[in-house]
Amino acid sequence: MGLSTYNGFSGRQREQVQRWLNEQWDSGELPRPSVCVACGQIEGIIDGHLENYDEPTSYVDLCVTCHLLLHMRFRRAAAWLRYRERVAAGWQAPPMHRRGQAIGELAKGILAGKYPAGVQRAAAPGKTFLDQLSTTAAPLW
């Protein structure tokens, strides 16, 4: 399954950049994403998210749950806003070790407003990277 267009970058462009990043991470040239900048997750799948694929080293570390929700925000704005409020208040989804598991948890839970058992962090982060993102499809670049 190919990637879709995002922020004006075609799926093909995005896939090329992702392949390059995977090579950089595998070789150790660039640090592999390790701590979700939004919810603080350090276990399971941590992705590198790009807003601008012309600057491939500008990736932001996001856990797969935050990352999937982020990419669903245009179609599921209400669920997205609830999710990021919850993250800002200190909630953290359980670590997802398989992408399919994350998609399943989202499909059956988060998008329907039913959150899986997670962790309440001692300190709420307040505004996070997620709050910088618009729910309208207007490209940032």
Binding site for Zn ion (CB under 5 A): 36, 38-39, 41, 63, 66
* 46, 90 contact by CB (below 8 A): no
In the bound state with Zn ion, the residue whose beta carbon lies nearer, of 17 and 39, is 39
For residue 22, the minimal CB distance to Zn ion (Å) is: 20
Distance, in Å, from the CA atom of 18 to the CA atom of 73, rounded to the nearest integer, reads: 21
Distance, in Å, from the CA atom of 128 to the CA atom of 111, rounded to the nearest integer, reads: 20
In the bound state with Zn ion, the residue whose beta carbon lies nearer, of 14 and 125, is 125
For residue 67, the minimal CB distance to Zn ion (Å) is: 7
Q: HSE (CB half, 13 Å, CA atoms) of 23? A: 7
For residue 10, the minimal CB distance to Zn ion (Å) is: 26
* 72, 111 contact by CB (below 8 A): yes
In the bound state with Zn ion, the residue whose beta carbon lies nearer, of 9 and 44, is 44
In the bound state with Zn ion, the residue whose beta carbon lies nearer, of 8 and 82, is 82
For residue 128, the minimal CB distance to Zn ion (Å) is: 9
CA diameter of the chain: 41
